[in-house]
Amino acid sequence: MNRSTVIKVGNFVWFQTIWWLVILFQNDAVVPVMLLILAWIALSPKRLEDAKLMGTLFLLGTIVDAALTNVGLFIFNETKVLLPGWPIPIWLSLLWAAFAGTVYHSMTMFQGRVLLAAAGGAIFAPLSYIAGAKFGAVELGLSMTWAYAAIAVVWSVVFPFSFFLSTKLERQTI
């Protein structure tokens, strides 16, 4: 296996590990997830780009999911709040940062393909949220069909925008 393939596969496994940690353990996964994110930044061949995109999507994703929570699509029954005043569970914000860590690596097949990215976001992101609901990490405030449709609309924009943003951030110098 060449280096590029190893990075893509490793990045995919890294993200899936984080996804399962936050879905199964929510707040109890925050420290291990933060450590995994820091480890990826340290090991990444694009550490500066990853760090910038992770920070940006951490904030943007928090805003997106906070809006979806405020309109009643997502319901979180957090018994212990790690960051009082933070609009969504911090583990979900960290999941956005981890998602950003895949854009330059295991998700490169979507780069520059806006329609494919829109379709990919519309199809797969809702499945991720619905799976999270099935495991009890979130409750959906709408029927499965309407929740899927609403998340699909949001992610048909968010997913391609993440790649657009990655290109813009990659061109910036600090």
13 in Cβ contact with 76 (< 8 Å): no
Residue 80 banded pLDDT, cuts 50, 70, 90: low
User: What is the mean predicted confidence (pLDDT) over 136-165?
Assistant: 96
Domain that holds residue 37: 3-171
Per cent of the chain over pLDDT 70 is 97
**How many structural domains is the chain composed of?**
1
Does this model's pTM top 0.85? My answer is yes
> Amino acid identity, residue 80?
K
User: What is the spatial distance between Cα 69 and Cα 113, in angstroms, rounded to a whole number?
Assistant: 29
> Amino acid identity, residue 70?
N
What pLDDT, on a 0 to 100 scale, did the predictor assign at position 81?
Answer: 64
How does pLDDT run across 82-114, given as a tens digit for each residue?
777 889 999 999 999 999 999 999 999 999 999
Q: Kindly state the tokens that stand for 62.
A: 């928090």
